[in-house]
């Protein structure tokens, strides 16, 4: 698309990724059933992914990462999602977590993200977690859910509010209790297999817990803090939640694109029962394809243009404004909701063929509905957007 220097924050290596994804396609497709059943990416496939750097998309150049621009990132996750949504989700999740490298001391970041097989996973903040101040660091207690990719993670992260030795909340200059993100090897956590779900089964988004594990100060940081940020590239001015938002919307777009492509292929060969003409010759089907294609392209263009404008803002050094946050939140939520409707209607239009696993419709249907259940796809985001647009006091979009 025109309008915007979207490569300023990238390495110029984004053009490698269509071929890199292509190199992995056969491996991922052949392992699709195993990924879904085991909740993890098999080691043989994981090794191939590490060889091309699939989990290094947003790792800084200073740590041998791609430091990819946001449009390239969106397109790459979308490509992976056309093949397998769980794999794409794990890459997107790990990419968001890799923003940690921008805040940690370089030596610590190198320890965590330097190895070629580095994968970091975490879940959202937990109400029952706490980090107690001790000499040289903190002792971490609690459990965290939805750690997508935890089964292949080398390190985990956890967000926890800080308490002093007496059990009192530790507050910053503003008076609010301080919350930090803590990094630790995945081997020290208790990971509980709770991921028995409808869709995105291959993400292994399990629950993990710690009971007093010591994390040194060097392995903790204030998320999205300008003062704590070590990497000064435009990319890392984006709040970490923004990377997850873009990634998960891209997964939705990839699922919808693959669903539409499969339906077009089906329509050219299937003659519905009690009919004498191909599915593609039905006026109803023609209208469905034209309408859904227009909606999918529109949602994608809206998200892409929003990311371009955001990238320009980051490149100019202006940071992320309230308007940028609002625009990204609306574009992401809209894309996910549109894709859910497109996939659902296309599943129905495919008829009985959609219920068979071999045809792929039922898996994409399950995966798409799992994507849309995540907070990025909730209608409440558009409610918040409406409140901001209407000037309701004290409301701000969360990105």
pLDDT in tens, 47-87: 999 999 999 999 999 999 999 999 999 999 999 999 999 99
Same domain (yes/no): 368, 309: yes
CA distance 240 to 101: 11
Note the helical H segments in the chain. 17-30, 32-38, 43-52, 70-83, 85-97, 106-113, 240-267, 283-315, 322-349, 361-373, 380-389
Give the number of C-alpha atoms closer than 13 A to the C-alpha of residue 363, restricted to the C-beta side: 22
In a domain, 228, yes or no: no
Query: What is the domain-level CATH number for residue 51?
Result: 1.10.540.10
In a domain, 4, yes or no: no
In a domain, 380, yes or no: yes
Same domain (yes/no): 174, 245: no
In a domain, 398, yes or no: no
CA distance 387 to 397: 9
Pairing of strands 155-163, 120-122: parallel
- Residue 3, pLDDT score: 36
- Residue 12, pLDDT score: 58
Is the distance from CB of 100 to CB of 183 less than 8 angstroms? yes
Domain end point (choices 221, 255, 278): 221
* Vertex 47 angle, CA 44 and 53, to 5°: 150
Same domain (yes/no): 380, 238: yes
Domain end point (choices 113, 131, 153): 113
Pairing of strands 137-147, 206-216: antiparallel
Same domain (yes/no): 108, 128: no
Is the distance from CB of 188 to CB of 213 less than 8 angstroms? yes
Where the chain has pLDDT below 70, the residues are 1-13
CA distance 82 to 252: 9
The number of distinct structural domains making up the chain is 3
In a domain, 73, yes or no: yes
In a domain, 85, yes or no: yes
- Residue 276, pLDDT score: 75
Enumerate long-range contacts of 29-33, CB under 8 Å, 24 or more apart: 29/83, 29/84, 32/84, 32/363
Same domain (yes/no): 143, 247: no
* Vertex 23 angle, CA 21 and 25, to 5°: 65
Is the distance from CB of 307 to CB of 9 less than 8 angstroms? no
- Residue 396, pLDDT score: 84
Same domain (yes/no): 173, 152: yes
Most distant pair of Cα atoms in the chain: their distance: 78
Could you tell me the residue range of the domain that residue 297 belongs to? 234-389
Residues 6+ apart with CB under 8 A from 30: none
Query: What is the domain-level CATH number for residue 140?
Result: 2.40.110.10
Same domain (yes/no): 109, 124: no
Is the distance from CB of 101 to CB of 56 less than 8 angstroms? no
* Vertex 113 angle, CA 239 and 213, to 5°: 85
CA distance 87 to 166: 44
Q: What are phi and psi of 46, to 5 degrees?
A: -60, -40
Same domain (yes/no): 71, 102: yes
CA distance 276 to 96: 51
| Residue 213, strand partner residues | 140
Same domain (yes/no): 53, 125: no
Q: What are phi and psi of 138, to 5 degrees?
A: -140, 150
Same domain (yes/no): 147, 44: no
DSSP 178: P
CA distance 383 to 388: 9
Same domain (yes/no): 170, 251: no
On the 0-12 / 13-18 / 19+ scale of CB atoms within 10 A, 7 is: middle
Q: Which of 362, 329, 93 is nearest to 206 (CA)?
A: 93
Query: What is the domain-level CATH number for residue 268?
Result: 1.20.140.10
- Residue 1, pLDDT score: 33
In a domain, 248, yes or no: yes
Domain end point (choices 186, 221, 256): 221
In a domain, 269, yes or no: yes
Residues 6+ apart with CB under 8 A from 177: 161, 162, 169, 170, 171
CA distance 253 to 138: 41
């Amino acid at each position: 698309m025109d309008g915007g220097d979207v490569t300023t924050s990238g390495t110029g290596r984004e053009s490698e990724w269509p071929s890199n994804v292509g190199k992995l396609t056969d491996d991922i497709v052949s392992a699709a059933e195993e990924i879904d059943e085991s909740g993890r990416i098999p080691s043989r496939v994981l090794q191939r992914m590490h060889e091309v750097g699939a989990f290094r998309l947003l790792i800084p150049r200073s740590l041998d990462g791609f430091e990819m621009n946001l449009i390239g990132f969106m397109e790459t996750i979308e490509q992976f999602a056309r093949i397998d949504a769980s794999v794409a989700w794990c890459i997107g999740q790990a990419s968001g977590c890799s923003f940690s490298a921008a805040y940690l001391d370089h030596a610590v970041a190198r320890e965590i993200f330097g190895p070629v097989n580095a994968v970091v996973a975490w879940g959202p903040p937990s109400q029952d977690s706490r980090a107690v101040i001790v000499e040289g660091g903190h002792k971490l207690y609690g459990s965290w859910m939805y750690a997508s990719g935890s089964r292949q993670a080398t390190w985990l992260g956890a967000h926890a509010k800080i308490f002093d030795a007496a059990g009192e909340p530790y507050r910053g200059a503003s008076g609010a209790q301080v919350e930090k993100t803590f990094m630790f090897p995945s081997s020290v956590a208790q990971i509980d297999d709770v991921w028995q779900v409808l869709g995105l089964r291959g993400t292994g988004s399990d629950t993990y817990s710690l009971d007093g594990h010591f994390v040194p100060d060097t392995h903790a940081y204030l998320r999205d803090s300008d003062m704590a940020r070590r990497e000064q590239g435009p990319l890392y001015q984006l709040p970490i939640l923004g990377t997850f938002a873009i990634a998960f919307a891209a997964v939705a777009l990839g699922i919808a694109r693959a669903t539409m492509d499969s339906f077009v292929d089906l329509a050219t060969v299937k003659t519905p029962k009690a009919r004498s003409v191909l599915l593609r010759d039905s006026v109803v089907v023609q209208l469905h394809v034209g309408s859904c294609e227009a909606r999918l392209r529109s949602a994608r263009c809206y998200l892409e243009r929003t990311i371009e404008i955001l990238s320009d803002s980051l490149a100019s050094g202006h940071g992320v404004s309230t308007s940028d946050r609002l625009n990204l939140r609306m574009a992401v939520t809209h894309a996910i909701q549109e894709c859910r409707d497109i996939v659902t209607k296309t599943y129905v239009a495919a008829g009985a063929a959609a219920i068979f696993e071999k045809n792929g419709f039922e898996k994409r249907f399950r995966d798409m509905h799992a994507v849309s259940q995540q907070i990025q796809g909730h209608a409440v985001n558009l409610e918040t957007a409406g409140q901001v647009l209407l000037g309701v006091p004290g409301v701000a979009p969360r990105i």
